[in-house]
Structures are given as structure tokens and as C-alpha cells.
Structure 1
Amino acid sequence: MFKLSKSQIRVFILCWAAYASIYFGRVNLSVAIPQIQDTFGWSKGSMGLIGSLFYWVYGFGQLINGQIGDRISTRKIVFFGLITTAICNICFGFSTAYILMMVLWVINAYAQSTLWGPIVKSITNWYEYEKRSSVSIGISTSMVGGYILAWGGSGLIIAKSNWNLVFWIPGIIILIYSIVWFSFFRDTPKEADKYICDKYSKATAIKNNSNYSLLQVIVKSKLIYIVLACFVQGIIKDSIALWAPTLFMETQNLDITETTQFIIFIPVMNLLGMMFASFLNKKLKHKEKRTIYLLFMISIFMIIGFVKLGSYNIIIALIFLGLTSAVMYGANTLLLGVIPLHFAKYNKTSSIAGFLDFCSYLAAGFAAFITGALVDRFSWNGVMIFWIVCLVVGIFALLMSLKCDKIAVKMEKVTDNTYLID
């Protein structure tokens, strides 16, 4: 267990709260949809289009803003993302026109895409090498905190008032927090008049080469194999998030109220999955690719358990599906939060984080449609088989990536070239 300085703890809290807060201004839409439909008479398809556009724009925004994040101040770009998210939510609460709501939510998506890459970059500035992996995983838990805040807070608000407040209250809270962020966050310890002793700093400074383009780094590091792993976890993680209520209602014969009471435990299990991934990664001496490989293997057994035993009891089904989601969230934190840290030597931490996040959401977008089509034709068992096939592909990709790492290590011994290894 390591200790953090007071300034490092402050940076951790600021980053965690920033990322959790934007989920309060994102997931609130899903809670408000039924009342918005009742108010304006819009179809599920129309509301679903707003949600779909959010994820597509968010994914492409990650690709763009990840690269921007390596060039400009984290403090400034995150402030922009927070204050724009706040304004979009407040304006959304006043909107009565469908097109205006769609435009505001698209802008909200792009604004929120400015946070993750720059936050990951700030980890390399503020924390010693041996602390970065655990800190990144810790900040990743903000996703779970944000979901619980959004579902619980928005649910409480809409139960006692109308849908407008579900956007006004998060908007005001995020607006206030944007000021807190800008007032207290600093990009580097030097700006905050602090000094962090990093025994790896000299080696990193010598090897640092920011002349490579993003494409050159992707090719040089054989990142395509990690991209395939991102596709896999994105497909399964977000398919569960989107389809879990329908899955339980159709396989367990539950109504929506009963289903909601059960699936609220899945975010809690996701948090445990992140903690388990961190523990396992430490046991494997921070070999992230090996850890993700084992998480994918575990997920296959969880899916088989759901298929074979899930029909007997709702609790059993919840445990197996929840553990599948938890394991994928654990893999997500390593893929999108830890692996990009290895690219600091190329000054591409934010760019790689944004690129991998883009890949994850790209796959999730396709999975939303594919999952529905598979259910219509082959039932839910067809979806489970599809997930297992995806995991097998992901495992193969990780094995190939590990093989490339071994070759890179051998070549390092006879050349002065820098290779990105696990």
C-alpha cells in the first residue's frame, strides 16, 4: 500500500468528482425519458435517437479531444467540458422542441468527451510511476459513483417533481463544481509549487519523443490488438447496461418495478469488479494485458453459468450477469485508464486514452443494434454465444499482443529503439 501527499489526494478527489459529475448530467436522461414521452407524446424511437447520437458524438469526441488534451492545459479543457455540460443540462430542462433537445444533447456529448483523456494525462504529471496504475483505477470508479448518483438522485427528483428538475439540478451542481475545479486544480506539481520525486523521471525524459504522430505510435506499439480487446469489453459492458432490464423482464417474467429493484445491484458489483481488477493486476505485478486476459477467461465462465443456471432463480441470474458486467468494468479500467499511461514517453497519454475510449464506444454503438437483432432471431442464448465468441477473439488478440511484447524485449537488447511493452 502506498501513501499519497496532500496535494496528490486533492488532485485525485478533484478528478474523481469531475468525472462522476458528468454522469449526473448524462444518465439523467434515461430516468427522465418516460415522463418526457408522456409530456410531449414522443415515441421511444425518437427518444432513443437522442441517446444514440450522444454515444456516437461522445465516441468521436474522445478521438478528437484525446489528441487536443496532449497539447493544452487539462485544467482549461476540463473546465470547458464541465461548464458546457452544465449549460446544456440547464437549457435542456427549459426545452420543449425535439430538435432543440437533440442539438443540446449532442453538444453535451462533445463537451463530456473532453474529460477522460486529459484526466489520464494528469495522472502521469502528478503521480510517481508505481502509483499511476492504482490511481487510474481509483479514478475510474467515478463511473460507478456517477451512475449511482444519477439513478438515485434523478429518480428521487422525478418522483417528487417534474422532469425539468432532473436537468436543472445536475446542471447547477456541475456549474458550481466547474468553478471549484478551475480554482483548485493545477496541471503539474510545478504549477502548484510542489515537487514529486519520481525515480523513473530521468529515464522517461530521455526516452520521451513527441515527434511521433498518433498513427505512428499505434503502428509502432501494435496497438491494434488492444483495440480488439476494447471492442470486446465495449460490446459486452454496454450491452448489459442497455439490455439488462429487458433481459431480466423476458427471462425471469418480472415487471419493470421488480426488475429495477434487482438491477440496481449491478453498479455495485461493477465497483467490486474494478477493485478485483486492481487487486489481480497487483498480484500479476502490473502486467495489464495478462490481467485482462484472465478477466476475459473469467467472463466466459460467468456467461456459461448464466445460460446454464440463470433460469432457475432471479438471484442466480443476477449474480452471473452482474459478475460478467463487473469483470468487463474491471477490464475497462485497465484498457482505458492504465494502458494509456505507458504512452507518456511519446507524450500521447491523452491521445491513446481518447482513441481507445472511441473504439470502445464505437463497438458499443454497433452492439446495441446487433444485440436486438440476435434476440429477435435466436433469443437471449444467441446473444450469450455472440459474447463468448467475442471474448475468444479478445483472448487471441491479447495473446498476440503479449507475443509482440516478447519480440520487442528481445529487440531492445540489441538496439537503442524504444518499444512500448506491457
Structure 2
Amino acid sequence: MKQANTQRRQLFSGCSFLQMRMLALCWFAYIFAYLLRMNLSVAIPVIKQSEGYSNTQIGLLTSLFFLTYTIGQLLSGLLGDHLRSKPLLVTGLLLSACCNLGCAFSSGLPMLFACWILNGFAQSMLWGPLIRTLSLWFNARQLERVSFYMALSTITGYACSWGLASFLSERLGWRAAFWLPAVLVLLFAALLLLLFRSTPQRPLPAQEHEPGLAAEAPRSLGDPSPVVPRLSLFAYLGRICFPVLFLMAAAQGLVREGVGVWLPTVLTESGYFPADSLWFVLLVIPLMNLAGVLFVQKLLRRAGQNSGKILFFLYILITAAAALLFFLGGSNVILPLILMVLLLSVTYGTGPIFTSLIPFQLSAYGRVSLTAGLFDFSIYCGAALSGAISGALSDGYSWGTVYLFWLLAAAVGLLAAVAWFFFSKRGTAPGSKPAKAK
């Protein structure tokens, strides 16, 4: 235990001031990005009440956002490996801020749709370049810890966005939940223009060659050497068994974003949690999401970063929670709240495996931005399905039907996780050990 604590304290001991500054800028960049995307979830009950929109209309709005987000992830992922990260990042934040300003001053549903759909494309320009930047600024052993900190940025951004949007919607109306975060992000984008650097000017410290660290550095796909021949796109997708990963990530996105978008609405429609008393949920959910990330990180350390084993276990938990929500969710409001918070916690803990850990482990292939973009694309393909279908099912049937939809998605993810587990055992998955020759 003492040795592990010493290693954690020394992890960034050889980092320069510029490296730590870049980590801080990337961390805050994604927090500010969340201010411009999760604000809609909290504002939905107020928007429905003041504007008279239905769950089907709002669900379609969120699905179209995720649709443009997924398409943009492919484009920005491809471009991110060839272009400098700074222009993509600053452009994405500026465009997202302008879209939020458009939502704030929209005069009807068409303008709200247009601005929020474009916001999905703007948001897609952020994660891939951020991950590529970090892969250039930190070496292999450091990136394991960096992925943990970036996972915390999504949770912190989630909490800040929900808290700020809830406060503004209650005090100043739902439009303030869009224009004030946009102003804050415009100021932060100016700071990025001054301080952000896409690549380091000097070579990284050779920490992965220090005694004791090389043996612990995360490996990927048969433990490749630092220099790996560049594969064609289709060969690369086959090498990482992307169809199976796509199903797992899409299931995770469908459940996570489905619960995240509709949880405030479920609670307000229950009558037990009025729109102006969601502070309790806003306090508990980010803490539970943080607990989920910490839980998954601990599992990964114990399993030696074996993604197959951990994802298999996590999807068992997700499917079990979704099954309980479907079969027992109609009894009272407290049990669905507990189960949906549990689903959010586990799915948020699972996300960094896809969006940070595996792309970092595959950095030797020179496609970090593309890999991060592909996983985000997969996650938000599921999210795009979740928004519209969940909204339509809740209007046409009941929330129990929505819970069944989430359960089916979790079951598909579990089946994919079983397949990925067997690939891991054969030494063909990221983070697994190569098979020994007999």
C-alpha cells in the first residue's frame, strides 16, 4: 500500500510546469464544454411548462443533437490526427457558445432546433483533439493517471452544468441557463488563445524508460512496441475488433444519456420533486458519478488494465440495474431514483474506458484522435436513439416502457461484453497480455 501511494505521488514528479498547465487547460475546457450541453436537461421541465412542448418534441431535439454530434466525431477524429488541436478546440467552443446564445434568444421551436442541432456538431470538435493533445504532452505511464483526471472533468462539468442551469432557470428563467454559460465560455476561449499549445516544444521526459515504470505501463493489443507500422483504416478497425466495441459503447451511451436527459423530467412528473427542488438530485448524482469512476479505476488497477474482464463485470451490473428498474420501477418514486442514479454511476464509470484509456493504450498506432472520436461516435449513436425513442415511448405509453427500452440496450451491451471478454482472454484486446508461445 505504501509503495502504491509513493508511486502515485511520484507519477507527475517529473512533469514540467507547461505539462501541468496543459492538463489544467484541457480539464477546464471540457468542464466549460459541459456547461453548453447539459444545461438543456435541467431546463427541459421549465421549457415544457412555459413553451408547451411535448416529450416527443424535446426527445427529437436531443436525438438530433446527438446525431450531429456523432457525425462530427468522425470528422473531427480524422482531422484531429492531422491538424493542430488548438484551432479545432477554440472553434468548437466559440461555435457552441454562439449556438447557446441562439437558443437563449430563440423565438420558437424551429430556431431552438436549428441552434441545438448545430451545437451538437460544435461539441464534437472538442474531445478528440483534447485527447490527442494530452497524448503528445504526457508519456505512457502518466497517461494512465491523466485518463482518470479527464474522467473527473466530465463529472465536474456535469455537476456544474446541472447546478448552474437549475439555479438560473429558477431565478432568471430558462433562457438564462443558455446565455450566461455562453458568456463564460467566450471568456475562457480567449484564455485558451493565449495559453494553449497543441504540441510540446521539447521532447517529453523519458519516464517510461525509468526502472520500475516500464513494467507497469499500460500495454495494448498484443503489447506493441513503441513504433507500430501504420495500418489502413479498415485494418485498424479489424485489429481492435471495433464492431464489438461499437455495440458496447452504443449501449452505454443509450442508457447513460437516456437516464441523464430524462431523470429530471421523471422526477418532476412524479409530483414528489417540483422543478425548483431538484437541488437534492443535483447534489447526489455527481457524487454518485464520481463514486462510479473511482470504483472502475480501482477495478482496473486490480485487473491490470484488462478492459475485457472489467467491461464484462460492469455490463452485468448495468443490465441487473436496468432489469430491476423495469420490474420494480413502478412501485414508488424512490426506488426508480436510486436505480437510475446507480445506472448513471456505473455508465459514467464505464465511459472513460472507451474515451480515454483505450485510445491512450492504442497511441502507438498514431490514431489517438480518431480512436477517441470513434468511441464518442459509438456512444452518441446510442444516445441519439435514446432521446427520441424514450420521449416518444413516454408520451405514447409509460415510463415503464422506457425502462424496458433501456433494459434491452443493456442486454445488447452485455452480449457484446461477453464477446469482448473472450477476445481479451486470447490476448487480442487493449490492455490484455499477449498470448505466450507454446
Sort the TM-score into its range (normalised by shorter chain): 0.7 to 0.9
Cα shift readout 1:256-275 (whole Å, capped 9, x = no counterpart): 34873553222321121111
Structure 1 residues 70 and 205, CA gap change in structure 2 (3 angstroms): farther
Residue matched to 1:22:
33
Cα shift readout 1:273-320 (whole Å, capped 9, x = no counterpart): 111111111111111221111111222333455456666665444333
Q: 2:354 aligns with which of 314, 335, 340?
A: 335
2:278 maps to a residue whose letter is T
Using the TM superposition, name which of 122-131 and 33-42 deviates more: 33-42
Q: 2:278 aligns with which of 223, 236, 260?
A: 260
Shift of the alpha carbon at 1:115?
Answer: 0.7
Give, in whole Å, the separation in 2 of the partners of 1:97 and 1:325: 32
Give the secondary structure class of the aligned counterpart of 2:349: helix
Give, in whole Å, the separation in 2 of the partners of 1:397 and 1:185: 39
Q: 1:286 aligns with which of 291, 301, 305?
A: 305
Residue matched to 2:255:
236
Structure of greater relative contact order (alpha carbons < 8 Å, 6+ residues apart):
2
Residue matched to 1:397:
416
Give, in whole Å, the separation in 2 of the partners of 1:372 and 1:102: 16
Does residue 71 in structure 1 map to residue 90 in structure 2? no
Cα shift readout 1:181-207 (whole Å, capped 9, x = no counterpart): 232222233x26764533369x97753
Residue matched to 1:270:
289
Give, in whole Å, the separation in 2 of the partners of 1:295 and 1:169: 37
Residue matched to 2:122:
111
Cα shift readout 1:129-175 (whole Å, capped 9, x = no counterpart): 12323311321222222222222212222333244433332112111
Kindly report the root-mean-square deviation, in angstroms, between the aligned alpha carbons of the 2 structures: 3.3
Indicate conservation of the 8 Å contact 2:59/2:387, yes or no: no
Residue matched to 1:419:
none
Cα shift readout 1:334-368 (whole Å, capped 9, x = no counterpart): 12221122221221111111111111111122233
Indicate conservation of the 8 Å contact 1:137/1:334, yes or no: no
How many aligned residue pairs are there?
Answer: 410
Give, in whole Å, the separation in 2 of the partners of 1:46 and 1:261: 26
Residue matched to 1:198:
208
Shift of the alpha carbon at 1:14?
Answer: 1.0
Structure 1 residues 187 and 411, CA gap change in structure 2 (3 angstroms): same
Residue matched to 2:186:
175
Indicate conservation of the 8 Å contact 2:58/2:391, yes or no: no
Give, in whole Å, the separation in 2 of the partners of 1:352 and 1:197: 24
Using the TM superposition, name which of 52-61 and 373-382 deviates more: 373-382
Structure 1 residues 49 and 366, CA gap change in structure 2 (3 angstroms): closer
Q: 1:223 aligns with which of 242, 250, 275?
A: 242
Using the TM superposition, name which of 299-308 and 99-108 deviates more: 299-308
Q: Percent identity?
A: 29
Give, in whole Å, the separation in 2 of the partners of 1:391 and 1:33: 25
Give, in whole Å, the separation in 2 of the partners of 1:58 and 1:134: 27
2:312 maps to a residue whose letter is Y
Using the TM superposition, name which of 404-413 and 13-22 deviates more: 404-413
Structure 1 residues 323 and 93, CA gap change in structure 2 (3 angstroms): closer
Residue matched to 1:418:
none
Task: Extract unaligned runs of 5+ from structure 1.
Answer: 415-422
Q: TM-score, normalised by structure 1?
A: 0.84
Indicate conservation of the 8 Å contact 1:127/1:196, yes or no: no
Indicate conservation of the 8 Å contact 1:123/1:136, yes or no: no
Does residue 82 in structure 1 map to residue 100 in structure 2? no
Indicate conservation of the 8 Å contact 2:308/2:423, yes or no: no
Q: 2:227 aligns with which of 200, 204, 207?
A: 207
Using the TM superposition, name which of 160-169 and 270-279 deviates more: 160-169
Structure 1 residues 217 and 258, CA gap change in structure 2 (3 angstroms): same
2:25 maps to a residue whose letter is L
Shift of the alpha carbon at 1:42?
Answer: 5.8
Residue matched to 1:347:
366
Give the secondary structure class of the aligned counterpart of 1:198: helix
Residue matched to 1:140:
151
Q: 2:375 aligns with which of 345, 356, 369?
A: 356
Give, in whole Å, the separation in 2 of the partners of 1:324 and 1:144: 14
Structure 1 residues 109 and 349, CA gap change in structure 2 (3 angstroms): same
Structure 1 residues 14 and 266, CA gap change in structure 2 (3 angstroms): same
1:154 maps to a residue whose letter is A
Indicate conservation of the 8 Å contact 2:35/2:181, yes or no: yes
Indicate conservation of the 8 Å contact 1:8/1:127, yes or no: yes
Give, in whole Å, the separation in 2 of the partners of 1:369 and 1:85: 22
Structure 1 residues 249 and 87, CA gap change in structure 2 (3 angstroms): closer
Indicate conservation of the 8 Å contact 2:300/2:307, yes or no: yes
Indicate conservation of the 8 Å contact 1:78/1:115, yes or no: yes
Structure 1 residues 322 and 114, CA gap change in structure 2 (3 angstroms): same
Structure 1 residues 193 and 404, CA gap change in structure 2 (3 angstroms): closer
Residue matched to 1:157:
168
Give, in whole Å, the separation in 2 of the partners of 1:269 and 1:282: 20
Give, in whole Å, the separation in 1 of the partners of 2:186 and 2:253: 30
Task: Extract unaligned runs of 5+ from structure 2.
Answer: 1-7, 218-222
2:353 maps to a residue whose letter is L
Q: TM-score, normalised by structure 2?
A: 0.81
Using the TM superposition, name which of 347-356 and 50-59 deviates more: 50-59
Indicate conservation of the 8 Å contact 2:330/2:400, yes or no: no
Structure 1 residues 41 and 377, CA gap change in structure 2 (3 angstroms): closer
Give, in whole Å, the separation in 2 of the partners of 1:48 and 1:299: 23
Give, in whole Å, the separation in 2 of the partners of 1:220 and 1:384: 35
Give, in whole Å, the separation in 2 of the partners of 1:149 and 1:411: 42
